[in-house]
Structure formats: structure tokens, C-alpha cells
Structure 1
Amino acid sequence: MLAPQQDVHALRLGGLTIEPPVVLAPMAGVTNAAFRQLCAEQGAGLYVCEMITSRGIVERDDKALGMLEFADAEAVRSVQLYGVDPHYVGEAVRFLAGEYGIAHVDLNFGCPVPKVTRKGGGAALPYKRGLLDRILRAAVDAAEPSGIPVTMKTRKGIDDDILTYLDAGRIAENAGCAAIALHGRTAAQHYSGSADWESIARLSEHVGIPVLGNGDIWEAADALRMVEATGADGVVVGRGCLGRPWLFRDLAALFAGRPQPPLPTLGEVAAMIRRHAELLAELMGEDRGLRDMRKHMSWYLKGFVVGSQVRAALGMVESLTQLDALLAELEPDQPFPESEIGVARGRQGSPRKVVLPEGWLDDTECDAAGLAAAELGISGG
């Protein structure tokens, strides 16, 4: 069995101890309180709320505040913020600390989607070193009285010719961040190709704060290989847990030096589907919760032999009663499909040119006032 070369059993983020050193990445439309509860029931770690815009929180936007729902299993309330203005980011952190008992704040500088980068946000922003520094310092200063650790997540850079991650790591460390997470892809890659774990290793050598590696963790053994190969202090898991919340059970076992549990049978996956639907129904109400559950079905059932009619019906399920009847038609003893082990999950797409504001690359300085359009008043982007 693979084992990390260094002693990586717990991650220290300020006064927080995260054991095992595993973080669930925020994913819009997926990592709501129900999904985080489901993952937390499988294994310990840190489970981060869906990304919320700082301005939405400061202006008390209903959608933004509505996303601040937490499950009973979340002993540590963690929120990822998006923002481009130091004022809004700092005020959002103060509000979260005072009104919601948030224990950890992560700042997103890794989003590659065009609607964000074309306005100077997400993975485009670290190119503006001074602004990045001011945002991080505003968050750290606002969090300091409550003892809340602030971390940041970023990508390698805009593309292979414009890499920002080493400068971002230095800026994060100097600003007082507790850790930095690096997705080993550029914004131009989006989710295509392979993650560059060597960049995670270089960042680990470059900074004196914990580094978390993100990218291409499809099985628990991948996390240990990443730690061994890069010297990372922990891992961030995103698409690898889609339809596979038991991945956190496997990660907890391997990081503790225990054998990995067997992969689930179709019957055990069905039980997980039922639990997920139940949690969504509790969170949103049965009608809305079951509609939200539909998108998860293809991830859960990928590779299993399921009749086309049952598969289609599960993708249109409307109630828990109907779900129970459909799950009863599945073959419970069917083993987990070997063809799906180690396979990429979720969106992949293809590389594409990153859309940036006009003149963005002319210099590395920027005033937040020039990014007013990027300070979105809505959440979940």
C-alpha cells in the first residue's frame, strides 16, 4: 500500500486541526449542505460551502445568504468567498465571523469560466499582484480578531506562458494566509488534460505555509501518491467525489494507514443514493430536493449495468416513494465496475483561450475600482 513519505495525518490551519488532511472543494450546484453532510458521514476532513460572492454577503443578497446553510455534521463551518475588492472581502469576512460562526474562510482565485475572467476575477486576478495582496490582507485582518484562518485557492496561471502561482504563494504567505491550495492546471486548460503535480511540488518548496494539492484525485490512492510526489501538506478533492461520497471513507482509511475498504456494490450505492435524496429533501423540501438529485444519478450509476428505462426514470425522479420503487429494481449484488476505477469524472472539456479585460496584461498593477463589473452581486458562479 502507498504511504506518504512525510507524516501527513493532520493539517494545521491556524487553530484548526484537519484530520485527515482532506478538503472537499466547493462545486457550484453540488456541494450544498446535504452533499457536505453525506461526505462528512463517510469520513472526517474539511467540507467547504459553495462559493459565495463577497458583495452579495455585504449587501445581504437573499441568494447569497440563502447559501449559508450548514449540516449538523459540520463542526467546522467553512465558506469560500469570491471577490475582487478588498473592502467587500474584508466586510464579508467580518459579517461571517460575527453572524454565522464561520471557522474558516477560503478565497477563490482559481475560477476559469469566461464570465468571471473576462471581468478580471477568478484565475485572472493573481496577475495583478498588488491587488491580490490587498485582498488577502483585508481578509486576514478582518479574520484576525476571531482567530479564523484564511486560505486561498488558485491555478498555475492564465496559460503556460503566464504563470502566477509562485508569486501568489509568496503573496499569500506574506499576507498571513494559513495555507494555499493549488489546482495544477492553468485557466486555459479549464478541466482538460492532466493536472501538473510538479507545479504543486515547486510551490511546496517555494513557500513556508501549508500547500494543498488539487487535480486528478480520482481514487484515495491518488491522494497519497500526490502527497508523496509533491510534498503537499494535504489534498483538495473536487470532481473525484461526484457520485462517490465514499471516497472520503477511503481517504480517511489510507491516511490513517488502514486498508482501503472494498468498493461498494450496486446495492450499497443505491443506499447512498437514498441517503443523499433524503438529505436533499430535508434541506429543500421533497419536490425541489428530488429535482436537484436528478443530476447526481448519472454520476452514481456510471459503469453499472442498469436497464435503460430504470436509468431514465431515475433521471426524472419526483418523490422519495418513486425513488424507493426504482432503486428496488436494481441488482444489489452487482460489483463496482472496474472500468470506472481511476477514471476522470465530471466535466473535462478542452483547452480554450482565456477571455481577459482589454489591456489586462499590460502591467501587473490594478485598482479595485476598475473591476466594479467583476464584483458580482450574485452568488454561486
Structure 2
Amino acid sequence: MTRPVSPISIGGLSLDVPVVLAPMAGITNTAFRRLCREYGAGLYVSEMITSRALVERTPESMRLITHHESETPRSIQLYGVDPKTVADAVTLLVAEDRADHIDLNFGCPVPKVTRKGGGAALPWKTELFRGIVEGAVRAAGDIPLTVKMRKGIDADHLTYLEAGRIAEGAGAAAVALHARTASEFYSGQADWSAIRALKETVTSIPVLGNGDIWSADDALRMLAETGADGVVVGRGCLGRPWLFGDLAGAFTGEPRKAEPTLGEVADAFRRHAELLVEFFDSEIRGCRDIRKHVAWYFKGYPVGGELRARLATVESLAELDELLGTLDRSTPYPGEGAEGPRGRAGTPKTPALPEGWLASRELAGGDRTTLVDAELDTSGG
């Protein structure tokens, strides 16, 4: 597939390159979003923000919703379980002109979230899901509001087609599907046939596909196989911000593939660290945060274990520069060794759910009590 991919409109937003950076906890902060923008185009979504924390204006939530002046459009993802709280959070973002796009997370598979009825467990409660989306859409007004979800809780409790219809009917501007269930976590292979089924079901708004996009070729193949209008990229860009350049080229009909030398990878890693220091307004915090990216950036490259270990304990930019200076910058791209899956996949498991959650699609009294504690600062999807 070499022909250009058509731009898409998400409400009033026009995306020439229909690519979305998936929200990832502790990853898609301003620093990483800015870095990715330097390589390509698309919609770059914030880390997930808990609606209750935002309404309460906690310092951390207010910091996380702050965008750099270079970021446009500004995109924020919210997580919540109570229609009023989510609507209040959306109202705050709109009234204070803090976002150009808002996404709702119904895809988190983390046990401590689903155990309380949140994330990927929530669409099972049909009217609660409808109430949250409808209230958020009303509060958003002219700001496009989208929904990200999973196939369902497990193979016996799928929710995505009904949830897609509800979101469409509620006025959502687009829906995105991570083509796995909560029970699958990130394991195995994403079921792209589910994205195709959702696209056949939801016909009036864009449908975006998420899952197992490790290269631009994967993205083009997903669109060809599913008919999706665009893609959502998560773990595939970890340590590879240049993937967005590959995607932009493929989608505009000018295919290219970044094959960075070790020196170019080191430069990107250093730039990421610099942006993290600016984001945290602290050299030590920024350097500590870049540590978790070491394995992703240098995957496949001949960087010894001792140097990797030292990079994973770096505490200053000067120390980082000294370590990076020992690399052979001319080392070529290692090919397949630097490609493919990255990030923790986990293993299939029985989803953690509130007691009796699957007994009914309606909320019971006990469910409401459980949901009070569901808003945790945990992301995923």
C-alpha cells in the first residue's frame, strides 16, 4: 500500500496524518510528546488524568494538563467513573481553555483499576458508560471528545460493539479500539478483525485502530485489513520517536524508514533527557526519569551491560554526556534487532473485578459503593 492515506476530521480537528500517540502512564508527558512532534505529525495525547484529581485541582494533575507553547493541538485524556465528576473535569478544561481535544479512557486493564469497576471493566455497565460519555460530550461543547476502549473484559464478556454504538449516538467525535480484552493485557496478538467489525458498526465517525503497530508497514497493513480511519500507536514508539516520521512518510505516500546510527540514537536519548529536565524543572528528576528509557532506545545496539547499567543510574546531564561520549557513534542501525515488540506484554489472566460485577449490565447498590474508590492515578489501555 503506497498511496497516500486520506486525512481525517475528529470534530473540528483535521489530521493530515491520521496518527495518534496513545496515552501511556509515566511516558507521554510533555517531554516525550515534544520529542515525537520533532520527528512527525499527528495527535499527541497526554498521560491519563484522573477526573476527580483534576476537579480537586491537585498540583500534580494541574501540572500534567499543562502543555508547552509549541504543542498544538493540545490533547488530554481523562479517566473517571462518575458522570458528574467527568463532566466537571471536562467543563474545567473547556472553561480554562486547556485542551483542543479530550479523550476518555475505558481501556485500562490494570487490576487495581478494573477491581474497582473502572477502565476496561466499566463499559460492561451500559447505562453508566452512556451517562459518562453523554455528560462529557455536553460539557465539551465544540471541543471534540473521543473514546478509547478495549474489546471487553474477556472473550465471554465483549463490550466494544455496543460501546461503539453508544459513543457514536452520544456524540463522540471518534472511537479508538485497542484490539485486546482486559484479560489479555498486552499479551499475544491484537485481534485486528475486531477493529474491522467496529468500523462496520460505527459508520458516522472515525474509527481508530490500536495494537501491535511496531512499524509504518504495520500501520498501513492495519488500515488495509480493517478499513480503520487511522491508527493509535503506543508501545511501538518507546525508544523510537522517529517512528512518527516513518508513519508521516508512509501516510503521505512518501515512504521512508529511519535507520539511525548509534550516534543518532544517543542524540535522541540526550534530547529526551533534556526535555524531561525542563518538564520536571529538576535535573535530578529528569535524569532519573530517563533511566527507564535506556533499554528501549538501545534495543539491538551493541551497548555493553556495564554501560547500560551506568546509564540506568545517571543523575546529571553532565554524567549522561560523559557516558554517551564513550559510544561509537558510527555504529550502524542493527536492523531487526532494534525493531519489533517493546515494553512489557504481561500474560493472560482472569480480570480482577468487583464482586458480582458480571451478574448484571446494570449498576447494583454494591457497585456504586465500589466505584467511589475507583479513580486511581493509573493508566494504560
2: CA distance between counterparts of 1:356 and 1:379?
16
- 2:249 paired residue number: 253
Give the C-alpha shift of residue 337 in structure 1. 1.8
C-alpha separation in 2, matches of 1:297 and 1:45: 25
- 1:300-339 equivalences in 2 (<5 Å): 300-339=297-336
Could you tell me which runs of 5 or more consecutive residues in structure 2 were left unpaired when the two chains were aligned: none
Matched, 1:194 2:193: no
Q: Does 1:273 align with 2:269?
A: yes
Which residue of the partner structure matches residue 213 of structure 1?
209
1:173 aligns with 2:168: yes
> In structure 2, what is the Cα distance between the partners aligned to 1:380 and 1:184?
17
How far apart, CA to CA, are the structure 1 residues paired with 2:182 and 2:39?
32
2:355 aligned with 1:358, yes or no?
A: yes
CA–CA separation in structure 2 for the residues paired with 1:180 and 1:76: 18
Deviation at 1:19? 2.1
Q: CA deviation at 1:376?
A: 2.1
Work out whether residues 127 and 364 of structure 1, in 8 Å CA contact, stay in contact via their aligned partners in 2.
Answer: yes
TM-score, length basis structure 2: 0.95
Residues in 1 aligned to 2:41 and 2:187: alpha-carbon distance in whole angstroms: 29
From 145, 157, 161, the counterpart of 1:162: 157
Q: Who is 2:344 aligned against?
A: 347
Aligned length: 376
Root-mean-square deviation (CA, aligned residues, Å) is 1.5
Q: Is residue 2:372 matched to residue 1:376?
A: no
Deviates more, 1:7-16 or 1:344-353: 7-16
2:81 and 2:374 in contact (8 A); partners too: yes
* Mapped partners of 1:142, 1:244: distance in 2: 36
Contact 1:14 1:178 in 2 (8 A): yes
CA distance in 2, matches of 1:195, 1:377: 26
Equivalent position amino acid for 1:143 in 2: A
SS in 1 for 2:182: coil
Which whole-Å CA distance do the structure 1 matches of 2:192 and 2:102 have between them?
Answer: 25
**Stretch moving more, 366-375 or 133-142:** 366-375
How many Å apart are 1:126 and its aligned residue?
0.6
Aligned residue runs from structure 1 range 92-131, under 5 A: 92-131=89-128
CA deviation string 1:19-38 (max 9, x = no partner) = 20000001001111000000
CA distance, structure 1, for counterparts of residue 175 and residue 127 of structure 2: 17
The CA distance in 1 between the partners of 2:371 and 2:247, in whole Å, is: 41
- Secondary structure (helix, strand or coil) at the match of 1:42 reads coil
> 2:377 and 2:218 mapped to 1: Cα distance?
35
Following superposition, the deviation at residue 371 of structure 1 comes to 4.1
Amino acid at match of 1:3: T
5+ residue gaps, structure 1 = none
- Percent identity over the alignment is 58
Q: CA deviation at 1:377?
A: 6.1
Aligned to 2:144: 149
Supply the distance in 1 between the matched residues of 2:71 and 2:357 (Cα, whole angstroms).
40
Amino acid of the residue matched to residue 233 of structure 1?
Answer: D
| Residue 11 of structure 1: how far off its partner (Å) | 2.0
Task: Provide Cα deviations, 1:182-222, integer angstroms capped at 9, x if missing partner.
Answer: 00100000000000000000100111221000000001111
Residues 84-121 of structure 1, C-alpha deviations (whole Å, 9 max, x = no match): 10000100000011124311110000100110001100
Structure 1 residue 8: deviation in Å?
Answer: 2.9
TM-score (norm 1): 0.95
SS of aligned partner of 1:79: strand
Q: Using the TM superposition, give the Cα deviation of residue 349 of structure 1 relative to its aligned residue in structure 2, in angstroms.
A: 1.3
Structure 2: which amino acid aligns with 1:76? P
Look up the SS of the partner of 1:253 in the other structure.
helix
Deviations 1:302-336 (A, max 9, x none): 11101222221111111111111111111112122
Name the aligned partner's letter for residue 318 of structure 1. Answer: E
CA 1:379–1:98: 2 relative to 1, 3 Å:
farther
